[in-house]
């Protein structure tokens, strides 16, 4: 008997896991649309409701995340797109706000950001995103890169915590970012860093190392132990379930989303499927499903819906069944994890409800009552 199965049976007997692991206790493709799910990491940069409509058809609620990213529309525009869509589809969509680093050296920067976030929370934002520009790109007046553990962020993180919101942090990049293109483990990283050489750290050895980025993030978390944190993209520890396990053990108030890193999970499960499966079962309360689906301003509704459905179905097939499938991120076929139903329900909905739920429910009633139907 496999160790994972034996462990599950022991835990079931102890009443800790009310499901039987293995194919018999798994969902199937036919269950996909019916199970209520949450994708905690998408970017809707368009007023077109195509992605929201596909989500509703596929049984998803969505969290659309604003990011201070030059490839995206300016933040004020992202914010108004998000609040407009949330007002129209409050049953399906919630949003996470962000803030700009511009003006960092000016005396009023903190007050301005706190004011903007207060407005965003009043408009229903359930979290705040900090991005890799902090640590990799933004420099202060003295020409120094600003890292995420800079004490100047502390009042902002305290405000996020006091208001019961979640800090969503994308610090550093996948480990592949520090490798040459040919050594990267997944096709999507190779493609992204080929197209964005400015973020390909292998080309910028003068910038902080992967380890320095992770250490700055961990120091910030250690200093803010009460802050509810969601590490975007598996907290940039996507390359090793062992490293990610250590991170989750060290930071009990942190969870991670799986957005755009399923390929790295699959790369590892192709090497040792039982180990990856054990990790998902052991940390089932700390992993949140996310895709990183991005709806561009000019994307066609049909293409948006088709792409989203395919990505969601591919991930569902991998996590819930033991089917072998071809995925775009890897050249080798991938066998699914066939995770137990209870684990799937946590990863796909319950964890997000627990993490964001209070703020999600605290959305002003007026926004719902006024929503056009």
What sign does the dihedral 299-300-304-310 (CA atoms) show? negative
Q: Which of residues 164-193 bind Zn ion (CB under 5 A)?
A: none
d(CA 59, CA 124): 22
| Number of residues engaging Zn ion in binding (CB under 5 A) | 1
Q: How far is the CB of 233 from Zn ion (least distance, A)?
A: 7
> Where does residue 208 rank: exposed (0-12), middle (13-18), buried (19+ CB within 10 A)?
middle
Strand partners, 139: 145
Give the residue at shortest CB distance from Zn ion: 292
Q: What is the DSSP letter of 63?
A: E
Backbone angles phi, psi at 269, to 5 degrees: -70, -25
Residue closer to Zn ion (CB basis): 78 or 321: 78
Residue closer to Zn ion (CB basis): 22 or 73: 73
What tokens appear for 283 in the block?
Answer: 């940390």
Q: How far is the CB of 302 from Zn ion (least distance, A)?
A: 23
Q: How far is the CB of 43 from Zn ion (least distance, A)?
A: 6
- Number of CB atoms found within 10 A of residue 161's CB: 18
What tokens appear for 136 in the block?
Answer: 């990799």
Residue closer to Zn ion (CB basis): 238 or 292: 292
Q: Which of residues 243-272 bind Zn ion (CB under 5 A)?
A: none
Residue closer to Zn ion (CB basis): 8 or 54: 54
- 282 φ/ψ sector (left φ>0, alpha ψ -120 to 50, else beta): alpha
- 226 φ/ψ sector (left φ>0, alpha ψ -120 to 50, else beta): alpha
Q: How far is the CB of 41 from Zn ion (least distance, A)?
A: 6
What tokens appear for 281 in the block?
Answer: 């079962």
Q: How far is the CB of 259 from Zn ion (least distance, A)?
A: 6
Residue closer to Zn ion (CB basis): 269 or 291: 291
Residue closer to Zn ion (CB basis): 68 or 292: 292
Q: Which of 199, 167, 189 is nearest to 238 (CA)?
A: 189
Q: How far is the CB of 130 from Zn ion (least distance, A)?
A: 12
Reduced to 3 states (helix: H, G, I; strand: E, B; else coil), residue 10 is helix
Q: How far is the CB of 356 from Zn ion (least distance, A)?
A: 16
Q: How far is the CB of 294 from Zn ion (least distance, A)?
A: 7
d(CA 97, CA 83): 10
Strand partners, 254: 229
Q: Which of residues 288-307 bind Zn ion (CB under 5 A)?
A: 292
Residue closer to Zn ion (CB basis): 63 or 87: 63
Which part of the chain contacts Zn ion (CB under 5 A), choosing from 141-149, 286-294, 309-317, 362-370? 286-294
Q: How far is the CB of 98 from Zn ion (least distance, A)?
A: 11
Could you say whether residue 218 binds Zn ion (CB under 5 A)?
no
Residue closer to Zn ion (CB basis): 19 or 40: 40
Number of helical H runs and strand E runs in the chain: 16, 11
Q: Which residues contact 300 (CB under 8 A, 6 or more apart)?
A: none
Residue closer to Zn ion (CB basis): 174 or 340: 174
Which part of the chain contacts Zn ion (CB under 5 A), choosing from 173-181, 287-295, 305-313, 362-370? 287-295
Determine contact, residues 316/22, Cβ cutoff 8 Å.
no
What is the contact surface with Zn ion in residues (CB under 5 A)? 292
């Amino acid at each position: 008997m496999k160790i994972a199965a034996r462990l599950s049976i022991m835990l079931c007997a102890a009443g800790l896991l009310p499901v039987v692991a293995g194919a018999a206790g798994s969902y199937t493709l036919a269950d996909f649309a019916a199970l209520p799910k949450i994708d905690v990491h998408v970017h809707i940069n368009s007023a077109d409701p195509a992605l929201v409509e596909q989500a509703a058809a596929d049984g998803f609620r969505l969290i659309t995340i604003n990011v201070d990213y030059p490839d995206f529309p300016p933040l004020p525009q992202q914010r108004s797109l998000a609040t407009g869509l949330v007002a129209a589809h409050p049953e399906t969509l919630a949003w996470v706000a962000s803030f700009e680093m511009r003006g960092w050296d000016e005396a009023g920067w903190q007050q301005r950001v706190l004011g903007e976030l207060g407005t965003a929370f009043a408009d229903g934002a359930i979290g705040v995103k900090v991005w890799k520009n902090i640590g990799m790109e933004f420099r202060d007046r003295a020409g120094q890169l600003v890292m995420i553990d800079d004490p100047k962020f502390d009042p902002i993180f305290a405000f996020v915590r006091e208001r019961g919101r979640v800090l969503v942090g994308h610090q550093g990049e996948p480990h592949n970012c520090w490798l040459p293109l040919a050594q990267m483990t997944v096709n999507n990283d190779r493609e992204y860093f080929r197209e964005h050489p400015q973020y390909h750290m292998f080309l910028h050895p003068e910038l902080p190392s992967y380890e320095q980025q992770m250490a700055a993030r961990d120091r910030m978390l250690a200093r803010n132990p009460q802050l509810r944190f969601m590490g975007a993209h598996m907290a940039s520890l996507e390359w090793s379930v062992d490293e990610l396990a250590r991170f989750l053990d060290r930071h009990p108030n942190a969870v991670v989303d799986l957005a755009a890193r399923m390929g790295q999970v699959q790369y590892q499960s192709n090497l040792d499927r039982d180990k990856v499966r054990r990790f998902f079962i052991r940390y089932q309360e700390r992993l949140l499903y996310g895709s990183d689906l991005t709806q561009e301003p000019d994307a066609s509704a049909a293409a948006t819906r088709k792409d989203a459905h395919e990505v969601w179905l591919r991930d569902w097939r991998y996590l819930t069944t033991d089917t072998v499938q071809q995925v775009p991120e890897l050249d080798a076929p991938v066998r699914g994890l066939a995770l137990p139903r209870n684990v799937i329900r946590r990863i796909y909905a319950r964890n997000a409800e627990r993490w964001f739920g209070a703020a999600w429910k605290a959305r002003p009633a007026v926004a719902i009552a006024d929503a056009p139907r």
